[in-house]
């Protein structure tokens, strides 16, 4: 406790020295009022008295009095802090109301909040003056306040512009993706429409040419006599028949070549229990001679087959075929059967022919949609009439 008293005395002494210095400087610059001088003198006296008390040892009573004074001072500080805190809360509430309520409701709300303080009478004139000043300041700030707009150097406009720009960029990206998808679809549609347009133009051009030919033909026929028209029609029909015969002959030669070279070995293999026609494209005469197992696999050859050139073998087979109508091997037998079956069906036309047996040739023609069996009798076969659907 004695050390605390000494510290207080030291602080007071320092303060007095500062005041004396300030008094000297103030007197040099301007006159000091008597009241200020009296206060300083009183403070000096109190300081001297405190110094005397500090030199004397403190009794128990003095310490008790000093402690009570400290407690009273601390309590006064706490009350002052509480009052200032209450004032701060009122100011915060006022500011919150100022920024949250519309301008039309501010006056009524302020009167409601401050009516108790402003209308409250007090015997202390300084308190009434303080109330009047607060009311005047509040109303003046309320009357002079404008809409809260940001200054030119504020970052809020830039932030708002950035947010709006970001939103526009996102919307633009979405629009670009949607437009890209629509553009791709429109391009595909454009290609389709372009192809349709070209087809339409070609059809229209062909129709115009055909109409023009028909008109020219009609105009030409009007100038001809019936005898001339008949001779021209006969010549045209003969030409068409000749062209049809020549085309049929070429097709028959190609068909015979295809049967002899490609189809006959596969037909022979299927007849022997081998793979179906189309499953094995290369079937040799040696394989046909050896035959196939029950599982459709080629059997092993018992004797080696002598190598012989293909051309010489064909010549020998041709000579032997001319000398004797009997087929030399199973491949020729299959080819002969296919030729005979096709010729029989061509001569029969739309009528059914009777089959001697169920052969690979007949099954192949049915699978190829060239011929069809009788619905009730699988031993009868006929060609499918393709011309009937075209004629209809």
Domain assignment present for 219: no
In sequence order, what are the residues at sequence separation of 6 or more whose Cβ sits closer than 8 angstroms to the Cβ of residue 369? 384
Q: What is the pLDDT of residue 25?
A: 44
Collect the ranges in the chain with pLDDT lower than 70: 1-33, 37, 46-47, 50-51, 53-58, 62, 66, 70, 73, 94-95, 97-124, 142, 144-159, 302-328, 387-392
Among 61, 81, 116, where does a domain finish? 116
What CA dihedral angle connects 249, 251, 254 and 259, to 10 degrees?
Answer: -100
Among 93, 116, 139, where does a domain finish? 116
Domain assignment present for 85: yes
Q: Other CB atoms closer than 10 Å to residue 290's CB: what's the count?
A: 16
Q: What is the pLDDT of residue 170?
A: 92
- What's the number of domains the chain is made of? 2
Find the angle CA(167)-CA(170)-CA(171) to the nearest 5 degrees. 85
Among 116, 145, 178, where does a domain finish? 116
Rounded to whole angstroms, what are the CA distances from 368 to 22, 261, 281, 379? 128, 18, 16, 18
* Domain range for 286: 253-391
Domain assignment present for 329: yes
Domain assignment present for 73: yes
Q: State pLDDT tens for residues 292-333.
A: 777 777 777 765 544 445 555 555 565 555 545 555 678 888
Q: What is the pLDDT of residue 292?
A: 77
Domain assignment present for 186: no
Domain assignment present for 13: yes
Pick from 287, 285, 289: which is nearest to 317 by CA?
285
Quote the CA–CA distance of 133 and 251 in Å, as a whole number: 122
Domain assignment present for 372: yes
Quote the CA–CA distance of 237 and 229 in Å, as a whole number: 12
């Amino acid at each position: 406790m004695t050390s605390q008293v000494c510290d207080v005395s030291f602080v007071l002494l320092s303060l007095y020295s500062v005041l004396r210095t300030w008094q000297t400087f103030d007197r040099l610059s301007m006159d000091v009022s008597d009241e200020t001088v009296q206060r300083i003198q009183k403070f000096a006296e109190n300081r001297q008295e405190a110094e005397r008390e500090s030199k004397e040892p403190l009794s128990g009573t003095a310490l008790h009095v000093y402690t009570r004074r400290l407690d009273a001072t601390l309590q006064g500080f706490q009350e002052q802090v509480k009052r200032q805190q209450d004032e701060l809360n009122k100011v915060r509430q006022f500011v919150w109301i100022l920024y949250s309520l519309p301008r039309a409701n501010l006056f009524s709300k302020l009167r409601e909040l401050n009516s108790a303080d402003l209308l409250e009478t007090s015997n202390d004139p300084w308190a009434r003056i303080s109330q009047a000043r607060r009311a005047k300041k509040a109303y003046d700030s309320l009357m002079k306040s404008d809409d809260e707009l940001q200054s030119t150097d504020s970052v809020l406009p830039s932030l708002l512009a950035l947010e709006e720009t970001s939103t526009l960029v996102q919307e633009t990206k979405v629009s670009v993706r949607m437009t890209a998808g629509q553009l791709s679809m429109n391009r595909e549609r454009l290609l389709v429409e372009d192809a349709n347009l070209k087809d339409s133009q070609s059809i229209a051009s062909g129709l115009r040419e055909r109409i023009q030919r028909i008109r020219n033909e009609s105009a030409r026929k009007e100038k001809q006599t019936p005898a001339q028209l008949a001779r021209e029609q006969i010549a045209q029909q003969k030409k068409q028949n000749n062209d049809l015969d020549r085309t049929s002959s070429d097709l028959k030669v190609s068909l015979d070549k295809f049967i002899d070279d490609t189809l006959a070995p596969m037909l022979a293999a299927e007849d022997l229990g081998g793979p179906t026609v189309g499953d094995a494209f290369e079937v040799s005469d040696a394989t046909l001679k050896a035959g196939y197992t029950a599982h459709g696999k080629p059997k092993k050859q018992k004797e080696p087959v002598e190598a012989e050139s293909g051309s010489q073998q064909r010549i020998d087979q041709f000579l032997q075929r001319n000398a004797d109508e009997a087929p030399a091997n199973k491949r020729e037998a299959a080819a002969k059967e296919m030729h005979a079956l096709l010729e029989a069906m061509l001569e029969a036309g739309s009528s059914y022919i009777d089959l001697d047996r169920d052969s690979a040739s007949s099954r192949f023609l049915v699978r190829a949609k060239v011929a069809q069996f009788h619905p009730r009798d699988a031993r009868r076969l006929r060609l499918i009439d393709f011309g009937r659907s075209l004629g209809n």
